[in-house]
Amino acid sequence: MEYRQLGASGLRIPVLSFGTATFGGGNEFFKAWGSTQVDEARHLIDICMEAGVNFFDTANGYSQGMAEEILGKALEGRRQEALISTKATFPTGDGPNDYGSSRLHLTKACEDSLRRLGTDYIDIYHMHGFDSNTPVEETLRTLDNLVQSGKVRYIACSNFSGWHLMKSLSVSERYGWVRYVGHQAYYSLANREFEWELMPLGLDQGVGTLVWSPLSAGLLSGKIRRGQPVPAESRLAQGGGQGPKVPDELLYNIIDALDEVAAETEKTVAQVALNWLLQRPTVVNLVVGARNEEQLRQNLDAVGWNLSPEQVAKLDAASATEPIYPYWHQRNFPMLQKKIV
Q: In this predicted structure, which of 114-123, 128-137, 216-225, 313-322 has the lowest mean pLDDT? A: 216-225
Q: What percent of the chain has pLDDT over 90?
A: 85
Question: Among candidates 265, 258, 255, which has minimal Cα distance to 308?
Answer: 265
Tell me what pLDDT residue 341 has. 62
Evaluate if residue 32 carries a pLDDT over 60: yes
Confirm if 24 and 61 have CB atoms less than 8 A apart: no
Tell me what pLDDT residue 33 has. 81
Tell me what pLDDT residue 128 has. 97
Tell me what pLDDT residue 244 has. 84
Q: What is the mean pLDDT of the chain?
A: 94
Tell me what pLDDT residue 154 has. 98
Tally helices (H) and strands (E) across the chain: 12, 10
Q: In this predicted structure, which of 37-41, 63-67, 106-110, 241-245 has the lowest mean pLDDT? A: 241-245
Q: What is the DSSP string of 233-277?
A: TSTTTTT---SSPPPHHHHHHHHHHHHHHHHHHT--HHHHHHHHH
Question: Among candidates 110, 118, 129, which has minimal Cα distance to 73?
Answer: 118
Q: In sequence order, what are the beta bridge partners of 53?
A: none
Using pLDDT thresholds of 50, 70 and 90, give the confidence band for residue 26.
confident
Mean pLDDT score, 86-110: 96
Evaluate if residue 226 carries a pLDDT over 80: yes
Evaluate if residue 316 carries a pLDDT over 60: yes
Evaluate if residue 168 carries a pLDDT over 90: yes
- Active site includes 186? no
Tell me what pLDDT residue 25 has. 85
Confirm if 208 and 181 have CB atoms less than 8 A apart: yes
Other beta carbons within 10 angstroms of residue 197's beta carbon come to 18
Give me the phi and psi of 234, to 5 degrees please.
Answer: -75, 160
Evaluate if residue 48 carries a pLDDT over 60: yes
Evaluate if residue 235 carries a pLDDT over 80: no
Evaluate if residue 303 carries a pLDDT over 90: yes
Tell me what pLDDT residue 338 has. 83
Confirm if 53 and 1 have CB atoms less than 8 A apart: yes
Mean pLDDT score, 152-164: 98
Label residue 288 exposed, middle or buried (CB < 10 Å: 0-12, 13-18, 19+).
Answer: buried
Evaluate if residue 232 carries a pLDDT over 70: no
Mean pLDDT score, 298-318: 97
pTM: 0.94
The 10s digit of each residue's pLDDT in 170-222 is 999 999 999 999 999 999 999 999 999 999 999 999 999 999 999 998 999 99
242 vs 250: CA distance, rounded Å: 17
Active-site residue, from 62, 125, 154, 180: 62
Domains in the chain with CATH codes = 3-336 (3.20.20.100)
